[in-house]
Amino acid sequence: MNRWASLPIRRDRFLSMNGRVADASCCGVMTGNRDFVVKSDSRTKRQGQSVMIKRFIRNYIPRHRNRLNQFLHLIGVPLTFVGTPACLIEGKPWYWAVSCFVIGYALQFAGHAVEGNDAGETVFIKRKLGLPYTEYGPGTNPSRHPESTDDTK
């Protein structure tokens, strides 16, 4: 017996991930032999990536307003995330990779100290432990409610 036969849906229509009813022909669904396979929809993936990037930028910009913080991140981020793997791939001594990682992160943490807020990793850890943290620096109001001025949680 077909495992899909008992489902109260038509084979040519299905619920997409956002809950809307979609036509099978437009979303890459194959309906041969009463079984169907959902193929990945590249448009949906791009939309999801776009939302993720917009969310990242919306959070990143208010947390990195100070020019010195921006400069330290400009040096520290590539040093951490490009320099470390490059040292490992090129077969450099292990202490070069560790140095890139530690110095890169130190520059980023120094930038956040100048900015007056906690680094993202620190915010995450403090939030999980229930400790107070400062996600946004003084004078920054990222809240959607203009009357809210509380940057420290």
Residue 103: per-residue pLDDT: 98
pLDDT over 90 for what percent of the chain? 46
Q: Count CA within 13 A, CB hemisphere, residue 53.
A: 6
Highest-confidence segment of 11-15, 37-41, 132-136: 132-136
Query: What is the full DSSP assignment across 23-37?
Result: EGGGTTEE-GGG--E
DSSP state, 134?
B
Q: Which of 64, 61, 92 is nearest to 76 (CA)?
A: 64
CB environment 55-66: b (16+ within 10 A), e (fewer)? eeeeeeebbbeb
Per-residue pLDDT tens digits for 55-70: 888 888 899 999 999 9
- Share the mean pLDDT of the chain: 76
Residue 15: per-residue pLDDT: 45
Q: Quickly state the pLDDT bin for 145 (edges 50, 70, 90).
A: very low
Residue that wins the pLDDT comparison between 34 and 88: 88
On whether the CB atoms of residues 142 and 123 are closer than 8 A, the answer is: no
Give the CA radius of gyration of the chain. 24
C-alpha torsion angle, residues 68, 133, 136, 99 (rounded to 10): 30
Residue 56: per-residue pLDDT: 84
Per-residue pLDDT tens digits for 106-143: 999 999 999 999 999 999 999 999 999 998 888 776 64
Would the pLDDT of 35 be above 70? no
